[in-house]
Structure formats: C-alpha cells, structure tokens
Structure 1
Amino acid sequence: MKLSLRPAAVLALVLAAAVVVAVRTTAPSLADDGRYTAEIRRTEYGLPHISAKDYGGLGFGYGYAFAQDNLCVLASWVVTLRGERSRNFGPEADSDDPVRPVANLVSDVYYKSVAESGVVARVLSQPPPVGPSAELRRLVDGYAAGYNRYLKETGVANLPDPTCRGKSWVAPITATDVWNNLLDFSRMSSGSQFKEFIVGEVEGQAPERPAAGSNAWALGRQATRDGHGMLLADPHFPWNGIRRFYQVQLTIPGVLDVSGASVYGTPVVQIGHNAAVAWTHTVSHAQRFTLYRLDLVKGDPDSYVVDGRAEPMGRQVVEVTLQDGTTVDHTLSTSRYGPVLADGRTDEAAYAFADVNAANLRPADEWLAMARAGDLTGLRTAQSTYQSMPFVHTLATDTAGTAYFADASVVPHVTDAQAERCAKPSPMPGLEEYVLDGSTSACLWGKDRDAVVPGIFGPAAQPRLTRADYVANSNNTAWITNPKAPLTGYPRVWGKAGTDLEPRPRVSLDMIAQRLSGKDGLGKPGFTLETLQATVQGKRNYTFELMRSDLLRLCRANPSLTSSGGKPVNVREACATLRAWDGRATLDGEGAILWREFFTRLGRPTPVGEPPYSPWLVPFDPGHPLSTPRRLKDDSVARQALADAVLYFRTNHIPLTLTPAQAQHYSSIPIPGCTEGEGCFDRVRMRGPLGQDGRYPEVDTGSSFMMAVELTPEGPRTRTVLTYSLSANPDSPHHTDQTALFSRGQWVTERFTQAEIAADPKLSTATVRG
C-alpha cells in the first residue's frame, strides 16, 4: 500500500445548537412549544417505554433514553464511521467492530471511503421506497437530537460511564451518522466484512461467513394448546459493542405501538411485536455479493475491458489523520461493479466487489411498516414494498394463529445457469463461488419485474412458507423450514437444498417434535407460553446425545489410551464422568466441559491433500436429514482426542467434573450453555480455548435478546430476557441485572399495555423536550 505523509489539515466541526429540556414526573404536555416532546417511562430492569405525539418526538425520546444507558458505545462507533480512529486511538490498534475488528488505519480508510462516496446522500435524495419515508427521516433527526440533548445536559466530563467520561473523542452526532450506521448494519454480512481486501492490508483466505447465530420459531394454531399464534425470538448476536440489542417500547398513540429490541444506534425495532403480530429474524445463508473478474487492458492496468471496450477505473483518494497530526493518503480503485479489491490483483486481472447492500437504507422503513402491521397480510405487504432485509430470514405469526417464513432478503439476481456460464476462477481461498466474468455485460445481475431495485430477485422468487403448525430456522438454509414441506427448486444463490442441517437446527426441530408429541416430559402435547420457555432452555447437547453410546462403548474397550504426544492416559475417571452426565449444559453440568474439549479435538484440521475428516459413523443422507449424520466412529482420531482432552485436564490440575458455571462467564456471572459445533440450541461462544486455570475467555456471543410471545385475543403475553442487560456502562445498576436472570434461567414479564406499565412499582417517568 502506497502512503504519503504531509501536515494535517485543520479539522473543524460545527456542533448542534443548544436545546432546552424539562424533566418532571407527570404526563407530557402535547402542546409544548418546543420542537420535540417525548415521555420516557422506565419499568423494572430500566426498560424504557417511549411515547410521543409524532415521529420526531419519538426519535428524540429514544435517542435520549439510549444515550442515558449506552452513550459511550455509540460515541466510539461514530468515531469509526467517520474514519477518525487513527487520530484518536492510533493506527495500529484494533477497531471497535465487534464482528470483524481490523487495524484502525484500515477501518478509517474503508469508512471514510464510504462516507466520502456520497452514497448516503444519493439514497436520501430518492423518494420512497428506495429513499427513506418522511416518517423515518423525522425519526432519525429526532434520534440524533435526543442523543445530543442528553450529552449537552450531562456534559462529557460528567458522563456516568467511565469508559468515555472526559474523553476528547466524545462529541455530538448528526443524522448522517445515524444513516451511516444503518447502512453499515445492512453491509454487515457483505462489504463491511471485506475491509482489508478493499483497502489492501491482508493476503490469503477470504473472511469466513460471520458466526451466524439465532433460533426462531413461529408457532401456528395447530401447534399451540389454545390455538394462539406464538413466537420465539432468540438472536445470537455479539455481547459487546455496536451490534448489541437495546430493549425498548415505542408508542405514538393511535399510530404505532411496538415492543422489542433494536440494534444499538438504530431508531426502529428490528425484532418484536405489536398487539396483533410478532416477528423475528435469523441469519440467512443466501449470497450477498459477487466478485467480478476484470480483464485489465494490456499496458494500462487502471483500465478494464467490458464488451470489447476499455473502461477506466475510478480513483478515490482517502486521507486519514494520525495521532501525531500527520496524514496518510490511500488511493482506492472503483469500477462499474463496485470497489476493486486491492488483493488478488495481477498484471492481467483484478476483482471488483459487487455488494447487494451497497446502497440499502430501506430496512429501517420495512421494520417501521412491519411494526404498524395489523396481521400477517400487512407484514407481507411491508416486506414486498421495501424488499430490503439485508441478510436475514423472517419468521412471524399473528393473532389468527398463522405461521410464516420468508427469506425476504436482498439477494443478487444470479440464476444457476448464469452462475455456470459466467463463472471465473477465484482469486483467493474461500471465494470459490460466484466469481463472475466482468468482461461482458451479459454477466450483470438480472432484473425482476416485481423487484423494487434492479439486480435483486423480486418477492415472487423468494423462498416462502405459510403454515398452521409451525416454521422454524436455526441458520440452516430455507430447505427444512418445516420437515413436512421442504422448500426446493430455488437458485443456489439462496443457499443449497439437500445439505447437512448441522446439529443445532436438528436439535431445534427435535425439540419442537417432542413438544408436539408430548414426549419431552413437559405435559400434554402442544405449546403454551410456559412450555415454550421451558423447551428453549433445556440446554440439550445434541452431539453428546448422538454419540454417547458409542463413546461409552469405546471407553469400556479402552480404559487406557495414547495421546498425540505418545503418552499413555488412563481415561476411566473421565469416562465415568461422561457416563454420569445427563447431556445438558446447565450451570452444574459435570461433564459438559469435558465433552466439549473432547468433541472440539475431533474437529482438528485435515492435512492438506487429504479428504475432510468426519467423526460420524453414519454419514449424512439427504434422504434422512433429521436422523443423519449420527454415531461416533471408534477410530484413532476419536481415541487420541479423548486422551488429549483428559491429559490437558490432568496436566493443568483441572477437575474432570468442571462445570459451565466454573468455566464460562460474563462480567463474573456464570453462563450456562454450550457451543455451536456441539449442537446446542442456546449456544455460547468465547474467543479462545479453555485456559490452564479451567476458564474460557469471557462469553462474547450467544443468545442476546430472547422473547417468547403469545398473541391472545386479549393482548400479547410476553416474556423476555436481554442476556447482557440494558446498559454497557459498568457502573449502571442495569449492567448485569438481566444477565443474572439469564444465568438462573429466569425471564422478565413484559409490560406492554398502559395499565401494565402503570402498575409497575418501580415505574419512573420523565418528559424530555428539545
């Protein structure tokens, strides 16, 4: 990467004008002379219920309440979105991206290139549905103003969160910052995962698919005991940073009344319910981008050929200020398809990144329209109008007891025939699929008549399923949404059918089947709100269930095994521990961590040139997706894995009965659950192995906002838990209060109606104006 240094340019920032606020404990006056007025009521665990007479006031109240709890997280992220991390934190430190952190200099070049490209301004200039609605614009303006009002009222030096108290990088935000955050959230599974490849700071394999989590069930009238629609939301998002969820209720009397959760810094509810409809999302396997191979013009590496004609690349010079006041220039190349990757380039070819979410600001309007829907028909209309879900499936139900699934996400319009006809070799490992020929316009993304923008599949082409029993997804492809109605025949760009479901989706479907048959020990068949809660917190470890008998057989035949280092290991005590374990990753599950350490070692990398190793005795059979693969191979890999796991425990004096309560935690609170690979419905993830002290690094991903809803004729009955709690401020009383509930398997009874909110003995009320 070529850099040039020169004295820093003077940077000036015009801050927002001062506003006036009043705080009182009575109802708000809707005839206030100020621009914005909102009422913020907080119930137990600090949960905010925000009401206003209009969208501007609602956004103002939301921005103010969010800033009270989490200002430091958004303040840091605004520095990121503006490309100012190198100036404030140094160019080599890691960025605050919770999904894929990169060096600050790389982050700054990428985000400044987005901000200076003018993409947000271009989208804002468009009428709906491509551009934002008037209601959403007012909501965003109000959100920024509310955040700024709280900051001005409190002062940087007096912020309650020590994380950013008195820091020079804390400043007012603008509506543009909020729009940039909404755009970056859309790009989370596409362009924002390729920062290093666009900027040119990495070589080798492409980023893996994000650690997709989430479980979702929409239960119809045939699956519930009282015939009501029910929904389980269990997204698995990061537990730190800007991708955390914030729980909130937003109300404009007679217009909007929605409760649920928003990703930090976004002013709309993404997962939630109103009085008649409930919905949630899971990350989809569908493709979000393609690469285009550019044939470079001989002797002119800054031009490429399309349809026989030379076309010059665009150039964008990005300037980043460093801590010492000097600046760094970085030049990026662009093409008709999108940014040209700095990596993978040769004298003959370069590769452009075509992102289906490159200019997608529509999701916020879609979520706002879904929140106003009176039934599933209204929700489907919202999705067909905006066609914007950036990377997720949608599962929903309504008071009529209908269950609905759709991959209503934006997907590049690439048919199987086009993918085959236009295929080109990949420039790097991990990007073998959907590298297309950029030398001919015949390989451009196609168009559907019903698509709101060109280049994506329209609603008629999307995988959808409506049932009276249930639909479910745990990040598997749309194929087995309900085993009785497989979804097939869609282009591969949506995700392949006939593939291994993986253990977590399988245990999810098994949990539903056992509840519907009444074989799970929770009473007669059919879901109630209470049995729904109990089912999803069963802590089943599915790989242990599938392999237990074979492992114990291996143990009986081999009381002593040999480690990978050639050391004999007595495994009798370990086998006794696993024999006594009930296979559930509860806090006191003696054997849960031992099993994980054994199972993890089964998945060791396969040597180059050898076929991938599988520990399964019975391989996957697409004709029997719910019962294969199964059983454990008794081979040298399995025996060595058990020996190595036991040896690690003994060498470090870790008890073989180590429990999740002892090994995994968040802010010193023990966390139950097990990992994705083990086949755990309520999975956890830690960035690192088991330490020699018998503890993993802190949990950083897992169930985040859990919501169980029953839509009754009398109104919604809802239980929730925000696993990491409402506030990232370590000094807040709401920093870990719900985390303690989650640790104990408890839920919060949601207060949705005005009467329920008013009845909370811990209710506090404030009116904010500005």
Structure 2
Amino acid sequence: MNRKLSRFLAFILCAILVVVLGNNSFATAPRTTEILWDNYGIPHIYGKDVQSAFRAFGWAQMQSHANLLLRLYGQARGKAAEYWGEDYLESDKWVVTMGVPNRANSWYQAQSPAFRSYINAFANGINTYANAHPDLIDDEVEIVLPVKPEDVLAHLQRVLYFTFIVNQEQVADNTQTQPKAGSNGWAIAPKHSASGKAMLLANPHLLWSDLFLWYEAQVTAPGMNAYGASLVGIPVLAIAFNDNLGWTHTVNTHDGWDLYDLKLSNGGYLLDGKVRPFTTEKFLLKVKQKNGSLVEQPLLVKSSVHGAVVQEKEGKALALRVVGLDRPGVLEQWWDMAVSQNLDQFQKVLQRLQLPMFTVMYADRKGHIMHLFNGLVPIRQQGDFQYWQGLIPGDTSKTLWTTMHLYQDLPRVIDPPSGWLQNANDPPWTTTFPAAIKADDYPAYMAPRGEMDFRAQSSAKMLAEDDQISFAEMIQYKHSTNMELAERILDDLIPVAQKSGNQLTRRAADILAAWDRNADADSRGAVLFSLWWQEMSKGEIFSIPWSEKSPRTTPDGLKDPESAAKALQIAATKVEKAYGKLDVAWGEVFRVRSGNLDLPANGGDGDQGIFRTLYFAPAKDERFQAVAGDSYVAAIEFSQPVKAMALLSYGNATQPGSPHITDQLPLFARKQLRPIWRTRPEILANLEERKTF
C-alpha cells in the first residue's frame, strides 16, 4: 500500500470516528453527568458512572421536592418533634419504638461496598443542592441538613415497613384492614395484544400527599437505562421499565406482621411455661415548644422475643413482629431489577427476597408475562389466613415464626394460557382465568380465600372480553369509570322503585334507568347511585352471595328490593336538597382541586367496581375533593422501539414556585396520558432546563 493511499484511509477512518462520536453512538461513558429536565419537570439523568447518576438523582429530587424530602427524613430520624413541635411526637414514638434509627445504621454497614457508595452519592446530591440553593428551601426544614446516608435507609424503613406493611392505626385498633389506597396492574402477552407485542400497565393508587407521593424520572448510567417512578426520598426506581422488560407493583394481600398477646408474670412474660425478662432501652425524645425551648420526654421501649411492646395495660402487653427487618438489600434489589435484561436475570434478582411485600406484574420484549405474589411470608405451624389476622397467643413458641418461605414457595404464574394477568389488590388466585394459581396448592395462611371485589372483577372482565387489545385500548380501559356494582343490582332496584307510591322515588328510578352506569364527569345518576349505596351498605344486601365457583359474576341481585327502594327515597331527598336536582352531574359534585385549579373529576370508589379509582374527602361547599387514588400511570408496549405513555396526576413537584405543581392535573381531568420521552433527541426537543455536573 503506497503512502498516499494509507493517508487517505487514515483520513476516512478519522472522519468516521468523528461522526460516530458526534452522534453519541460510540460505546464510551460520557465525560460529564447531566440532568435534562423536560417540560413536564421529569428529570432525565445521564450519569458518567453509577455514583454520579445517584448523586444527580438526589439533586433532582431536591429541586422538585426539597421541603417534603427533608421533612420526611426528619421524621425518619425520630426527631420531628424536636424540629417542629408536639404534633410530631406520636410519629417519633412510633419510629423510635420500631427501632428505625438504630436499624438504619446497621443496615448501612450491611450494604455491599458498591451500593453503600451509591447511597452516599445520593445523600451527597441532596446536600450539594441544599448548599447551592439555600434560598429555595424553607427555613424550618433546613435543620435536617446535612442529610446522612443512614437517613435514606431510615426513610425507606419508615415508608415500606412501618407504613405499608404495618402502621400505627392498625396496631392501635388491632386490625389488619388495609387503607383504601391500592393499585391496578396488568400484563398482556403477545397472543392477547393487537400488535403481537407484550404490554404492561402500571397504576398505583395512593394518597396524593406526604410520603405517598411518586416521583417520575429516567436514570441512565453505564449498564442502566430505566424509566419509571419512585416514592419521594427513595434513591432507586420502584416501578420501572427499560428497552427489554418492565414491572409494576400492587399492594398484595400479604400478612407481614402479627400482634402477640403476652401473658405477664414477675416483671416479664411467659413463654413455654417459663418467665422471660423483657429487654429494655431508654430514650429521651425532645419536643419543641411554642417558645422555641425543648422539653425532654422519656420513652422506655420494652421488647420480647416477638418484637417491641406496642401496648401495655391492665396486666396485658402486645408485642409486634414484622417481617424483613433482617434483610437490608431492598434498594439494591430494586436497582438490579431495573438493570436486568430478560426474565431469567429478573427472577434471579427476585429470588433474593429482600423486598418484603408487593405483587410483581412483569412483561418483556420476548413476550413473557408474570404475576408473582412477592413477599416475605413466614412459615407458620398452624392456622389459616384469617387466624393470623387476630391476636396471636404469645406464651408458646409454636406461634413464633422465625423462617420465611423461599421464592419457589410463592404463588407465581408465567405465560398463562389466557394471555393476560391482572391484579387489583385481590389475592393471587384470581389473577387470570382459567385460574392458573390454585389456592389448594399453598398453605392456608399464604393469602385469603375470600371475595374477589368489584374492582378486580371489572379488571378481569375488560381483559377477558377483548381478545386483541391494542395499546390505545389498554389506555382507554385504564380510564374506565364503569360501576360494576351498578351493573349487578340496578335491574332489581329500578323496577321496584318505578312502582313505588312515592313520586320522588319514581323520579329517582327514571334517572337511574337513563344513567350510563359510569362515573364520568358528565354522568347523571352516578351521584344519586353513590349516595343510595351509602344508605344500603349495611348487612346482607345481595340475593346471591359471592361464590368461589363464580368469582367474576357474584355477588348479584338485591335481597330486599323494597328496603332498597326506601333507601333510594332517602338518598334522593339528600341529593335534591344539596344540589337542587336529582340528575346532578358527577363532575359537579366530585372535583379535583389544587391551587387555582378546580376541575370536574371522573372516577370513584374501587369498592363500587370503578377501575379508574379516586377517593374523595368532603369540602366545605357540599362538594368532594380528590385526595387519593390514581396517582402514577404508565402504559408500555414492548415494541421496537418501546411505546410508552404516562401521567403523574398531581405533577412531578411540590416545591413552591415550580411550574410542575399540578401541571398534569388538566390531562388527568380529561382522562389523557402524555408521551414518555426516553431518547435524547426526544428529550432535547422538549427540553426545559439542563444541569451539568
């Protein structure tokens, strides 16, 4: 080869290299870390390495939620009363009694060296933002600074273990009932989708405030490119997808805590006929007074082998036992779930069983779908699910569980014949039809064998009745406000009410007959039906009770139509008095409000079978305001490229002055999702702000 030809080839190679590098197609890590903020306030993080991505995620969460994040971390320390006064004292007692601050320290030491450095980086990002923008942070929360990496783990524990698994109200009432907030999740196989591609629907329903707020983000680093959502203050995505797979969580019917009834004797408690001493630890909680001074309040925490004593009176004591407090790897498991590229890798991560609860609904590019009843389920020597909902005898080691079921013991189905999976907080037995997980194959305490509620029935009905669901149809179904309850009982109520001797009852019956059975903003009859149901929902209502043999079509019919007609008269009287007309539109009464926004709502109580779930609190003007329900929604189709849309109902920020406080609420009120931008050209075309580190 002559010298001229060699130079010419070298020139061509250099030119190609310049083009490749200029287009970011060359597989090298970027030299800088940056956050690209799109015009919905979603941070797209590009980390030059993983630590830098965590640091940028800490910065991003502060820019969007600094005041909230710092307040939550202060509460997780058990020092909120010291910082902000007596209103936080009960919270501090709960956090300290549960051992959260001390356990956060031991969990931090137990992290792998690499992941410990990532948590350090996240905390560093929080503090770096605070140092750069002290003027944007409320004075009263600055006392929490600087944030320590242990605070991140304390917050995780307070949220996951001592709010989601068990909370103060449940312990005080000795009830295992779950809060109304829940979730929907769908996984659709290629055989059941119009495109021949697997699809995933993520749809948690949580309170629209406090530690329940979701934060939407994209995190890109070497070996990682995931998009999804995390709860504020959590340093990894908890619901996410990448180019090859995705998952969502639903709150499952998981029993992760028990209250043990201890028999007291000689200053201790009885166990297997012997007196055991309590272990004790003394704490001094500080409480800020209105004049700024601090008053110390002693707290004595007593523990048995079961756990911390949470009630003690009249010669009795109750001790609380909670799963998973010895498993510090939750965050790393979530991170590695997002790094996984196929079902085998994903399941290997799940097998660690660090995540103590939540159903996992999964779909991937290769067409696999999965439902996993995930969680730490104690191996129990006796009793069914219902038995373990009550007080457990604490005087015998036969009731003291110490080991957990392995991954292979948990209810799970992969690629069912139906081609679809759903969960709407119902037990795993009703995830698809024909049934793919049979309750008889599992211990009686694994999950309840009870009623499939109307929301879950509505969920399964939509999936079962459409053999070829398109991406657009999945989004349409997601927004369904059809009241399955109304479909079951109006055919019994209306004829009886139309024959009533009371004119108001007959008018009400005619309105219900004309109603579309939905809770859309313009639905007329939904308000009347909802108030009638409040009058009715006591005692036995249905003529045909729920049956395990017909889980999707029962209960059905009214047991006492005459009494139902009388209840309709009462409800009609209340509606007409409050709103001046019987056929008031749903959206006139039920609203979504924030700041200057006051919009008509669509959606309602999941107990009535509404898939588009919203929960309301009374407002002063005889209206009701949404306070919980549909929060984060993501619809994903694993096509090439991935097709995805999302909505964060209340917006991706709470920090005063942010344009993204409730900027998505008008879309929410119109039952619309917005596009997810994941590629760099898409993000740059919708760029609001760039931050480079």
Structure 2 length normalisation: TM-score? 0.89
Partner Cα separation in structure 2 for residue 138 and residue 236 of structure 1: 33
Work out whether 1:615 is the aligned partner of 2:541.
Answer: yes
Structure 2 residue identity aligned to 1:107: S
The answer to whether the 8 A contact 1:411-1:494 is kept is yes
Give CA-to-partner distance per residue, 1:316-343, whole Å, 9 cap, x none.
2222212231111121211111101224
Q: Deviations over 1:716-759 (max 9, x none)?
A: 1101111111012353211111111111111111112233323x
Match for residue 622 of structure 2?
694
C-alpha displacement of 1:30: 7.0
Asked if the contact 2:100–2:154 (Cα under 8 Å) also holds between the matched residues in 1, the reply is no
The aligned amino acid for 1:576 is D
SS in 1 for 2:35: strand
281-290 vs 487-496, which moves further: 487-496
Decide whether the 8 Å contact of 2:412 with 2:437 is kept in 1: no
Contact kept? 1:554, 1:634, Cα under 8 Å: no
The answer to whether residue 125 in structure 2 is matched with residue 146 in structure 1 is yes
Q: Cα distance 1:196–1:106, how it changes in 2: closer, same or farther (>3 A)?
A: farther
Is residue 208 from structure 1 mapped to residue 177 from structure 2 by the alignment? yes
Task: Name which of 359, 368, 383 aligns with 1:419.
Answer: 383
Offset of residue 355 of structure 1: 0.4
- Inter-partner Cα distance in structure 1 for 2:47 and 2:633: 27
Please list the CA deviations of residues 480-499 of structure 1 after superposition, one character each: whole Å capped at 9, or x if unmatched: 111212432222332123x2
CA deviations 1:592-650 (Å, max 9, x no partner) are: 2221111122114xxxxxxxx12212211211111111123344542332122111123
Match of 2:480 in 1: 538
The structural deviation recorded for 1:473 is 0.6
Matched, 1:110 2:94: yes
Is 1:259 the counterpart of 2:189? The answer is no
Is residue 764 of structure 1 aligned with residue 689 of structure 2? yes
CA distance in 1, matches of 2:79, 2:164: 22
3-state secondary structure, aligned to 1:626? coil
> Is 2:189 aligned against 1:217?
no
Which of 505, 525, 528 aligns to 2:456? It is 505
Where do residues 75-474 of structure 1 align in structure 2 (5 Å cutoff)? 75-91=70-86, 93=87, 104-114=88-98, 118-126=102-110, 132-155=111-134, 157-159=135-137, 164=138, 169=143, 171-188=145-162, 192-194=166-168, 197=171, 205-206=174-175, 208-253=177-222, 255-297=223-265, 300-301=266-267, 303-324=268-289, 325-343=294-312, 345-347=313-315, 349-384=316-351, 386-415=352-381, 418-419=382-383, 433=389, 435-445=391-401, 455-468=403-416, 469-474=419-424
Instruction: Classify 1:559/1:676 alpha carbon distance in 2 versus 1 (closer, same or farther; 3 Å).
Output: farther
**Are the aligned partners of 1:577 and 1:591 in contact in 2 as well (CA < 8 Å)?**
yes
| Residue number in structure 1 paired with 2:4 | none
- Aligned match of 1:628 in 521, 544, 554? 554
* 1:658 match: 584
Q: Give me the whole-angstrom Cα distance separating, in 1, the residues matched to 2:118 and 2:552.
A: 45
1:206-228 deviations in Å (ceiling 9; x for gaps)? 36322241111101121112221
CA contact (8 A) 2:505 2:565 kept: no
Looking at structure 2, the residues matched to 586 and 282 of structure 1 have their Cα atoms a distance apart, in angstroms, of 25
User: Any conservation in 2 of the 1:286–1:493 contact (CA below 8 Å)?
Assistant: no
CA distance in 2, matches of 1:222, 1:206: 42
* CA deviations over 1:130-151 (Å, ceiling 9, x no partner): xx33343222211111111111
Q: Is the 8 A contact 1:245 1:261 kept in 2?
A: yes
- Superposed CA offset, 1:121-180 (max 9, x none): 233333xxxxx333432222111111111111111x444xxxx35656453311111110
Q: Post-superposition shift, 1:763?
A: 4.7
Shift of 1:653: 4.0
Residues matched between the structures, number: 656
> Is residue 726–residue 734 contact of structure 1 (8 Å, CA) maintained in 2?
yes
Q: Which amino acid aligns with 2:224?
A: L
Cα 1:42–1:312 change in 2 (3 A) is same
Aligned mates of 2:80, 2:149 — CA distance in 1: 20
Q: In 2, Cα distance between the equivalents of 1:583 and 1:431?
A: 38
Residues 50 and 250, structure 1, Cα contact 8 Å, conserved in 2: yes
- Say if 2:76 and 2:100, in contact at 8 Å, map to a contact too: no
Question: Cα deviation per residue 1:425-483 (whole Å; 9 max; x = unaligned)?
Answer: xxxxx98735444333343325xxxxxxxx21111210000125111110000111112
**1:301-359 Cα distance to aligned partner (Å, 9 max, x none):** 3x12333432210112222212231111121211111101224x443x43221100334
| 1:683 CA drift (Å) | 0.9
Q: Is the 8 A contact 1:388 1:408 kept in 2?
A: no
Q: Describe how 1:673-712 pairs up with structure 2 within 5 A.
A: 673-688=603-618, 693-696=621-624, 698-712=625-639
Secondary structure at 1:218 match in 2: strand
Quote the offset at 1:84 in angstroms: 2.6
Alpha-carbon separation, structure 1, partners of 2:653 and 2:644: 21
Does the CA-based 8 Å contact 1:189-1:288 persist in structure 2?
no
- Cα distance in 2 for residues equivalent to 1:587 and 1:474: 23
- Work out the CA distance in 2 between the residues paired with 1:585 and 1:70: 33
Distance in 1 separating the partners of 2:392 and 2:238: 33
| Contact map agreement 1:239 1:702 (CA 8 A) in 2 | yes
Unaligned 5+ segments in structure 1 are 1-25, 94-103, 127-131, 424-429, 447-454, 517-525, 561-568, 605-612
Give yes or no for contact 1:281–1:394 (8 Å, CA) kept in 2: yes
Q: Deviations over 1:542-600 (max 9, x none)?
A: 1111122122112211151xxxxxxxx72233222222211111111112222111112
Counterpart CA distance in 1 for 2:373 and 2:175 is: 25
8 A contact 1:550–1:632 mirrored in 2: yes
Give 1:736-747 correspondences, 5 Å limit: 736-747=662-673
Residue by residue over 1:44-82, the C-alpha shift from the partner in whole angstroms, topping out at 9 and shown as x without a partner, is 311110011222211110111111111111111122112
Distance 2:305 2:82 in 1: 32
Query: Does residue 494 of the first structure (1) align with residue 446 of the second (2)?
Result: yes
Residues 20-63 of structure 1: CA deviation (Å, up to 9, x unaligned)? xxxxxx99x9787xxxx631001231111001122221111011
Structure 1 residues 74, 411: CA separation in 2 closer, same or farther (over 3 Å shift)? same
Rounded to whole Å, the distance in 1 between the matches of 2:108 and 2:646 is 35
> How far, CA to CA, are the matches of 2:295 and 2:675 in structure 1?
54
What SS does the corresponding residue of 1:235 show, helix, strand or coil? Answer: strand
- Cα deviation for residue 189 of structure 1 reads 5.0
Partner SS state of residue 571, structure 1: helix
Alpha-carbon distance in structure 2 between the residues aligned to 1:31 and 1:693:
55
Q: Which residue number corresponds to residue 6 of structure 1? A: none
Give the Cα separation in 1 of the matches to 2:100 and 2:621: 48
1:379, CA displacement in angstroms? 1.1
Tell me the TM-score normalized by structure 1: 0.81
Q: Identity of aligned pairs, percent?
A: 24
Q: Report the 3-state secondary structure (helix = DSSP H, G, I; strand = E; otherwise coil) of the residue aligned with 2:638.
A: strand
- Structure 1 residues 223 and 323: alpha-carbon distance in aligned structure 2, compared to 1, 3 A threshold: same
- In structure 2, the CA distance between the partners of 1:359 and 1:73, relative to structure 1 (3 Å rule), is farther
